[in-house]
Amino acid sequence: MQRICAMSILPVSRTSALAKGASRGAFTLIELLVMIAIIAILSAILLPALSQAKGRAQAILCLNNTKQLTLAWQMYADDFEGRLPYNLGMAGSSFRTPLNWVNNVMTWGLDPDNTNTATLTEASLGPFVSQATAIYRCPSDHVVSAAQSAAGWDGRIRSYSMNAMVGNAGDFSTNGFNINNPDYVQFFKITQIPQPTEIFVFLDEHPDSINDGYFLERDYYPEWHDLPASYHNGSAAFSFADGHSLLHRWTQSATDRPPLPDTANLPIPVPPNGNDDLEWVLDHMSVDHN
């Protein structure tokens, strides 16, 4: 008769089995380090590309803003028998008027002109942009001073200025020419602009240079009186009298100042062998009387 030996069966803890299964599915330290390294490499590759894509998108929006402002400028002229909006230099003065295309002078302090959108909507171009305020500010412009940041501001309300030679400049142009640029033609009517594709109307101005909406360079001084912005990879957005917009890239390092308070250090002398940027702006501001 065959004898069957009983085998002792040891009980297995369910908790122990689960722990073993869990240990087989977990990452080892080396695997974890490899994953971290892969993520770091992918981040190094993708983040600059994402940043560049964001920068390009902001540049496109900025160009669109200048186009919309120029369209409003053209519609204003249509409604006023070809006369262009007032473009008054108000910096250094308490003079304000809603007859101007904008009615503010911005600073690095807590002055209401920095945030009061009524200085845009109630000014002369306000009705022609349906009272929209976002188009007056470049999406790359979030520059504020320490005091403004402490007050909770994330930016001021305007990034754009108008070419000083375009529009009625008030006391500066009572004799039919601009005393700041007497050899240049002051354009009072849209029909006076001989080459609308060559004369700019709006540009984004450096945040430390922008104050009023009147952007001035003098053809007889080799210096930057006001300074264009460089938000878009060393470029500034310009819109022209015919309605087109473009990004113009600066070639001199002195033109590309950091977009921060107290960095423009105006006026900036321009040497004869480094004046390509200034000459480009002057060539597109107006034409000689002769």
- Residue 16 pLDDT > 80: no
Evaluate whether residue 17 is within a structural domain: no
SS3 168: strand
Residue 116, in any domain of the structure: yes
DSSP structure class, residue 113: G
For strands 268-269 and 235-240, give the pairing: unpaired
Identify whether 76 is part of a domain.
Answer: yes
Q: For the chain, what is the total number of helices (H) and then of strands (E)?
A: 5, 7
Is residue 272 in a domain? yes
User: Is residue 275 in some structural domain?
Assistant: yes
CA distance 155 to 149: 8
pLDDT at 283 over 60: yes
Per-residue pLDDT tens over the stretch 132-186: 999 999 999 999 999 999 999 999 999 999 999 999 999 999 999 999 999 999 9
What is the pTM (predicted TM-score) of this model?
0.82
In this predicted structure, what is the pLDDT of residue 122?
Answer: 97
Residue 9 lies in a domain: no
In terms of residue numbers, what domain contains 258? 37-283
pLDDT tens for each residue of 45-97: 766 655 666 668 889 999 999 999 999 999 999 999 999 999 999 998 888 99
Length of the chain as a residue count: 290
Q: Reduced to 3 states, what is the DSSP secondary structure of residue 238?
A: strand
Quick check: is 130 in a domain? yes
- Residue at 16 is within a domain: no
Count of structural domains within the chain: 1
Six-digit token string for 20: 């073993």
